[in-house]
Amino acid sequence: MDFLRLVETCEKVAKNTKKSKKIEILSHFLKTLEESEIPVAVLFITGSIFPEAESKSLDVGWKTIEKVGRDHQKTLLTTPLSILDIGDYFKKISSQRGEGSRKKKENLLQSLISRASPLERKYIFKSIFGEMRIGVSEGTMLEAISKASYLNLDLLRKALMFLGDLGEVARIALVEGKKGLEKINITLFIPIKPMLAEMANSLEEALQEHRKCALEFKYDGARIQIHKKGEKVVIFSRRLTNVTESLPEIVELSKSIKTKEVIAEGEIIAIDKSGRPFPFQYLMKRFKRVHDIERLKKSIPLKLYLFDILFVDGMSLVDETYEKRWKLLEEICPKDLLASRIITKDLKEARAFMGESIKSGHEGLMIKDLDSKYIPGKRGKKWLKVKTSVTLDAVIIAAEWGHGRRKEWLSNYHLAVRDEETGEFMMIGKTFKGLNDKEFQWMTQELLKLKIAESEFIITVKPKIIVEVAFSEIQRSPHYSSGFALRFARITRIREDLSIEDVDTLERVRNLYENQFKYKAKFL
C-alpha cells in the first residue's frame, strides 16, 4: 500500500477528536493492510520508529534534518513511497555503522525526503522527532487492534508486555488470531516490561491496602532484569536496553544463581568503600559506559539486590503469587544478593524498618501484596512505594536561556506530564532549581541536540529528558496546558533510566491535587 494512504489516515485521525471515532478509523485502516505492512504502519502511527524491545534508533539529529531539508538531490525512482519502503529506509538508516556512516545516514534520509510528497514529509519529520501528536497512544492503538481483530483487550495487553513490540502484536492478532497471541509468553533473552508500583500517600495507608504484605527497602538505584541460561547472562535496564557490557561484575554475580535458566529482577546501587550508597548520578555513569569499565568498576563498585523471579528452567512464574516467587528466589540465590525485607502489618514495626532504610541511604519502602501475580508493565496498587517526600517524574519540553552567571546555559526548564488519553505532553510548570553547574552544562548540551524550534529566549525540544521533581504544592492554573502548576518545583534528579511512557500522567497529578490537603495535614 502507498505510504500516502497511511499519512492520510493519520490526518483523518488527528482531525477527529473523539477517541471512539479515532479507534473506528484506525481499526478500519488496519484491516486493509497486508501482513508485512502491519508492523511498520502500527509503529508509525503510534509515533515510534522501532519496537521498544529492540533498543534501536535512527540516531539523526536536528542538524542532519535541517541539512537534508535544504538539499535538492533527486533520486532515480519515480514510484510513490510504499509503507514497506518507509520501514526499509528506517532500518537502513539505523543500521549504518562506523566510518562514513554519518554521510550514508544523511544520503538515505535525503533520498526518503526527496521521494516524499509534502504531506508525507510532514509525517516523516513528526515521526523522527517523536512528535506525532495525532492523539493515538499505545492504549488507543491497542483498542483499535482489538476492534479490528475481535480479540480481548487484556489478551492484547499481556502479549504486548511480553513482546515489547506493538507492531508485532498487531500482526499476530490480525493474522494468527487468538491462538497466536496465546502462544506468546515470557521468553529468555527477550526483556519484558517491568511491573510498576504506585506511590502511596503514607505508610499507614499502604499497610492497609493488602491482606498480607511484604516490606522491602526501596533502593536508590536502577532496576535491572537478569536473563541467564547456563553461562550466558544478559542484563536489561528498566527501559529494556541491553546493558550487559557495562556491568561485568553483575554478570558474574548472576552466575551464582543456582538454576540453569532464570529471569530475575533486582535493583543495583553504587556504593562507596564503607558500603554506603552513592547518589544516583554516579550509578548512571556506570550504566552508559562501555569503555573504561575496568577502571570504573573500581571507583564505582556496584551492589545487587534481587527481589523477584519470573522464570525458572523453562517455566514461567508470572502467574504465581509473590509469596511463592520470593520463596523460590530465596532457595536459588545466595542470601547476600536478596533485598532487605520483612513481613508485617504492624505500623510500628514498619516505621522502624522505614527508618532503617532511610538511615542506610535508601529512598523508603516498597509494600507488596504477597497474593499478587506479576503483571508486566502494569502500574497498580499491588505494589506500593512510600517515600519521605512526594515527587513527580516530568519531561522537559522546552527550556529558556539563563541570565547572569547562567547566561551560557539553558537553565529554566518547562516541565510536562503525559495526558494518558491522548499521549500528549501538557505543561505543568517551570523550574531552574536543583541542578549543579556540571548538570546545567550537561543539560544544555543534551537539550540542544533535541531542539525542534527556537525563538530568542526559548528553545522547544523533543520530549526525551525526564527529571524527578519535588514541589511544595499543586495548584490549579489557567496558564499551563495541564490546568495545574507545581509550586516551588525543584529537580531532585535526572532520570536517565526512565523512558517516555514512565512520565507521570495528568491523572496522577489530578489525584495528587485532590489528595493534597490530606497529605499536608499529615506532613505538616
Partner 1 sequence: MFKARLADPKILKYSIDAVSNMIDEAGVSVTKDGLRLKAMDPAHVALVDLELKKEAFDEFEVEEPLVLGIDLERLNTILKRAGTDQILIQLDSENNVLKIRFKNSSTRTFDLPLIEVSEEELKVPNLDFPSQIEIPPKILSESIKDAEIVSDHVTLMVDEENLFISAKGDLGNVEVKVPKDEAKSFEVSKSCRSMFSLEYLKDMIKASDIADSVKIYLGDNIPVRMDFTTENARLSFLLAPRIESE
Catalogue the active-site residues. 218
In the bound complex, what is the minimum distance in angstroms from residue 88's beta carbon to partner 1?
A: 9
CB 390 within 8 A of CB 489: no
For residue 518, state whether it binds partner 1 (rule: CB under 8 A). Answer: no
| CB nearer partner 1, residue 77 or residue 343 | 77
Alpha-carbon gap, residue 429 to 389, rounded angstroms: 19
For residue 79, state whether it binds partner 1 (rule: CB under 8 A). Answer: yes
In the bound complex, what is the minimum distance in angstroms from residue 94's beta carbon to partner 1?
A: 13
In the bound complex, what is the minimum distance in angstroms from residue 111's beta carbon to partner 1?
A: 4
| Residues 385-424: x where in contact with partner 1 by CB under 8 A, - otherwise, as a string | ----------------------------------------
Alpha-carbon gap, residue 394 to 115, rounded angstroms: 37
**What Rg, from alpha-carbon coordinates, does the chain have?**
24
Sole window of 72-80, 209-217, 239-247, 502-510 interacting with partner 1 (rule: CB under 8 A): 72-80
| CB nearer partner 1, residue 92 or residue 381 | 92
Alpha-carbon gap, residue 66 to 81, rounded angstroms: 21
| CB nearer partner 1, residue 75 or residue 256 | 75
For residue 81, state whether it binds partner 1 (rule: CB under 8 A). Answer: no
For residue 7, state whether it binds partner 1 (rule: CB under 8 A). Answer: no
In the bound complex, what is the minimum distance in angstroms from residue 82's beta carbon to partner 1?
A: 12
C-alpha torsion 186→188→189→191, nearest 10: 20
Query: What are the backbone dihedrals phi and psi of residue 495, each rounded to the nearest 5 degrees, phi first?
Result: -100, 80
For residue 78, state whether it binds partner 1 (rule: CB under 8 A). Answer: yes
Alpha-carbon gap, residue 25 to 39, rounded angstroms: 17
Contact positions with partner 1 (CB under 8 A) in 100-119: 103-104, 107-108, 110-111, 115
Q: In sequence order, which residues have a C-beta less than 8 Å from that of residue 162 and are 6 or more positions away?
A: 184, 185, 186, 187, 190, 192, 376
Sole window of 74-82, 238-246, 402-410, 500-508 interacting with partner 1 (rule: CB under 8 A): 74-82
Nearest to 9 by CA among 37, 36, 35, 41: 41
Q: Where are the alpha helices (DSSP H) in 343-432?
A: 347-359
| CB nearer partner 1, residue 82 or residue 140 | 82
In the bound complex, what is the minimum distance in angstroms from residue 391's beta carbon to partner 1?
A: 46
For residue 63, state whether it binds partner 1 (rule: CB under 8 A). Answer: no
| CB nearer partner 1, residue 115 or residue 193 | 115
Buried b or exposed e, range 335-361, using 16+ CB within 10 angstroms: eebbbbbeeeeeeeebeebbeebbeeb
For residue 36, state whether it binds partner 1 (rule: CB under 8 A). Answer: no
328's grid cell: 523460590
For residue 92, state whether it binds partner 1 (rule: CB under 8 A). Answer: yes
For residue 475, state whether it binds partner 1 (rule: CB under 8 A). Answer: no
For residue 77, state whether it binds partner 1 (rule: CB under 8 A). Answer: yes
| CB nearer partner 1, residue 40 or residue 398 | 40
Alpha-carbon gap, residue 447 to 458, rounded angstroms: 11
Q: In sequence order, which residues have a C-beta less than 8 Å from that of residue 268 and are 6 or more positions away?
A: 221, 222, 224, 247, 250, 283, 302, 303, 304, 305
CB 467 within 8 A of CB 489: no
For residue 40, state whether it binds partner 1 (rule: CB under 8 A). Answer: no
| CB nearer partner 1, residue 34 or residue 514 | 34
In the bound complex, what is the minimum distance in angstroms from residue 67's beta carbon to partner 1?
A: 12
Residues in binding contact with partner 1, number by CB under 8 A:
17
| CB nearer partner 1, residue 100 or residue 314 | 100
Report the sign of the C-alpha dihedral through residues 394, 400, 402, 406, in that order.
positive
Q: Judged by CB under 8 A, which of 15, 21, 31, 74 binds partner 1? A: 74
Binding site for partner 1 (CB under 8 A): 71-79, 92, 103-104, 107-108, 110-111, 115
